[in-house]
Amino acid sequence: MRKNETQTVHEVFNQLKIEKSSTISNQDFKDHSPLISKKQLWNEFLFEFKNIYGKEFIKCPDSVMNIKVLFLYFLQDMEFFNCEKLRSDLSCPSFKKGLFIIGGFGVGKTAYMKVFEKIFNKHKELRLKGYTAKELVNMYESCATPSDKSYMMSTTVRPRLFIDDINSERIANNYGNCDVVEEILFNQNEKRYTTFVTSNHTNPENSMEESIMDIGVRYGGRIHDRFYEMFNMIDFTGKSNRR
């Protein structure tokens, strides 16, 4: 099959090898009725991907493996724990933790999470709100008073928060410096809320260990140590899709 050839939903499912019974269920949310089935999620993913990016999702070995780990996580499918892209050696995997997605440029980190954000917007329990790290710094810097700053910080923290492109932002400067993303990650962890973050690798070898270490150094020991209880570590691979 050529890389950009369209496939039926059935064919793609078979390749994703998601458990036939997978659904995002309500079991962590008091009752057991399914919120969204795997088939519905996949159909919606393809539809929203096309809708937002104006092109079909291209399937190649890397993109399939990358999207698979996210699908299995959101579907709470036990196969998640066997995913190649899940670095169980770096952090003990759990559905209670969020996701730390690290990868090279253009591999789909932002695109896939934005599509999930759009799909989950219809489901209160799954809803996640996304910001870029730079956006958060700008929001902080545009606050006029200390009470605006604390309001901004308190409203950003939420049960399911997505911060795109961490480690790309500068330290905020607004009558004193503030490492906004560090502060928000700390607050998310204090409240035991679920956080999803993406970042680029920090080294040309694309070593996850080194990237996590460098990002830890950027945010300081307080957050670095918390990374491991906050996140499943996801290693996105492949070539850039920007062409």
Ligand X SMILES: Nc1ncnc2c1ncn2[C@@H]1O[C@H](COP(=O)(O)OP(=O)(O)OP(=O)(O)O)[C@@H](O)[C@H]1O
Q: Point out which residues bind ligand X (CB under 6 A).
A: 53, 55, 57-58, 63, 103, 105-111, 165, 200, 241-242
Number of neighbouring beta carbons within 10 Å of residue 32: 9
Residue ranges in 57-116 that form contacts with Mg ion under rule CB under 5 A: 109-110
The CB-of-27 to ligand X minimum distance in angstroms stands at 30
Residue nearer to ligand X on the CB measure, 53 or 186:
53
CB of 165 to Mg ion, least distance (A): 5
Distance of closest approach, residue 110 Cβ to Mg ion, in angstroms: 3
242 binds, among Mg ion, ligand X, none (CB under 5 to 8 A by kind): ligand X
Q: Minimum Å distance from CB 238 to ligand X?
A: 8
4 or 21, CB closer to ligand X?
A: 4
Contact yes or no for 194/159 (Cβ under 8 A): yes
Decide: 74 and 66 in contact? Cβ < 8 Å: no
Task: Give the 3-state secondary structure of residue 101.
Answer: strand
- Angle between helix axes 38-53 and 9-16 (nearest 10 degrees) is 110
Residue with smaller CB distance to Mg ion, 68 or 109: 109
Binding site partner of 108, from Mg ion, ligand X, none, Cβ cut-off 5-8 A by kind: ligand X
**DSSP notation for 126-191:** T--EEEEHHHHHHHHHT--SHHHHHHHHHHH--SEEEEESTTSSPPEESSSEE-HHHHHHHHHHHT
Q: Which helix (H) or strand (E) holds 51?
A: helix 38-53
Interface positions with Mg ion (CB under 5 A):
109-110
